[in-house]
Amino acid sequence: PDTLTFLGLESSCDDTAAAVVRAGPGGNTVLASVVAGQTALHAPFGGVVPEIAARAHAEKLDLCVEEALEAAGLALTDLDAIAVTAGPGLIGGVMSGVMCAKGLAAGSGLPLVGVNHLAGHALTPRLTDDLPFPYLMLLVSGGHCQFLLVHGPEEFSRLGGTIDDAPGEAFDKTAKILGLPQPGGPAVEREAAIGDTKAFKLPRPLLDRPGCDMSFSGLKTAVLRARDEIIAKHGGLPRQARADLCAAFQMAVADVLHEKSRRALEAYMALRPAHPALAVAGGVAANSAIRERLQALCAETGVTFTAPPLALCTDNAAMIAYAGIERFRQGHSDDMTLVARPRWPL
Ligand code: KG4
Ligand code: ZN
């Protein structure tokens, strides 16, 4: 059929999500997208606790599905298939999602489509924009950091990525070090707005090495050291010094992403794409300083810059439903042997 309507399920990290997406000749529509976050559950532990996450997913998945179907005004029988994140991610959560999807598929007789979470992120720009292959994707979030050449719905090549922390993780840890609230990204960005980027000299890790690999854990350590020096000198962390550190940190991340993106674009342009485009996704893409740098880089290079709306950039199930549709159109689906994969490189 020309038009496909999929239910998508996502439970690979700390968001339980269900969504209904319809794709057809007239375009793609997110009919419903429900995301139940678990931030409050994990907050006392200072990080995502896999066991708590898995339980919460198992508890919330059915409710999210019900809510999504109701919001879309559809019943299971109106759908064409069930798509589910089958990895990579925290195994307990992924298993909860896969089991829920199998139950729904078995009960309804609908096809089951296992989706790679990263493919979900990487294909999202095609859900909202008419973006032709191949395009370059920069995925930057709390858990991911990589450059992907997206050649087709199931064909990706990785140009490079972080060798340690993801940039969002570095933002979160920096916020923690400076006594700012979580999630750290927005908090650090707010402080950076009144800070002086030149007040502190922070490293630009791996810029001296060729290629697109990145590293952000040293940056966080540098922030920690700078903080301790300020405290030793002033007996505390003055507001302005904190803002300056935030500004310097954000600038360092932006510099690294800018330069590595420049190199990734070089490799991408060698493919001679007819309509060159860089798409960014992930929570860190919400950072306006980083975004502006990438936008400027694209403008210089004659490359279209695009970013899905934030709600589709962060973890959600609409991207899983849509990636499922793309995979299904390629003639692929799964059966009850579908397994949850904690590791699943694209
Ligand atoms: O994509 P996302 O919601 O979740 C995953 O990590 O999968 O990304 C969340 C990350 C967090 O680390 C958060 O601090 C970061 O994105 N983030 C930001 C901003 N907004 C969110 N980082 C920098 N600047 C922001 N404005
Ligand atoms: Zn994600």
**pLDDT tens digits, residue range 256-286?**
999 999 999 999 999 999 999 999 998 899 8
- Both 101 and 53 in one domain: the answer is yes
For ligand 1, pick from 188, 251, 284 the residue to mutate: most ligand atoms within 8 Å of CB. 284
In sequence order, the 6+-apart residues with CB closer than 8 A to the CB of 99 are: none
Closest ligand to C-alpha of residue 187 is 1
- List, in sequence order, every residue forming a beta bridge with 138; answer none if it has no partner: 147, 280
- Both 262 and 295 in one domain: the answer is yes
Model pLDDT, residue 182: 85
- Both 157 and 302 in one domain: the answer is yes
Residue 198 Cα to ligand 2 middle (Å): 32
Query: Is 0.90 topped by the overall pTM?
Result: yes
On the question of pLDDT at 225 being above 90, the answer is yes
- Both 28 and 150 in one domain: the answer is no
- Both 125 and 199 in one domain: the answer is no
What's the CATH code of the domain at 238?
Answer: 3.30.420.40
Question: Residue 267: which domain range?
Answer: 135-307
Confidence band of 44 (pLDDT split at 50, 70, 90): confident
Residue 194 lies in a domain: yes
DSSP string, 70-101: HHHT--GGG-SEEEEEEESS-HHHHHHHHHHH
- For ligand 1, atom 14: residue with the closest CA: 185
Total domains, the chain: 2
Classify 130 as helix, strand or coil. Answer: coil
For ligand 1, pick from 141, 177, 315 the residue to mutate: most ligand atoms within 8 Å of CB. 141
Q: Which among 128, 48, 144, 54 has a CA at the least distance from the CA of 92?
A: 54
Residue 87 lies in a domain: yes
Residue 320 lies in a domain: yes
Q: pLDDT (tens digit, 9 = 90+) per residue, 167-206? A: 999 999 999 999 999 889 999 999 999 999 999 999 999 9
Give the ipTM of the model, two decimals please.
Answer: 0.97
Confidence band of 228 (pLDDT split at 50, 70, 90): very high
- Both 212 and 286 in one domain: the answer is yes
Model pLDDT, residue 314: 87
Residue 342 lies in a domain: no
Residue 341 lies in a domain: no
Confidence band of 323 (pLDDT split at 50, 70, 90): very high
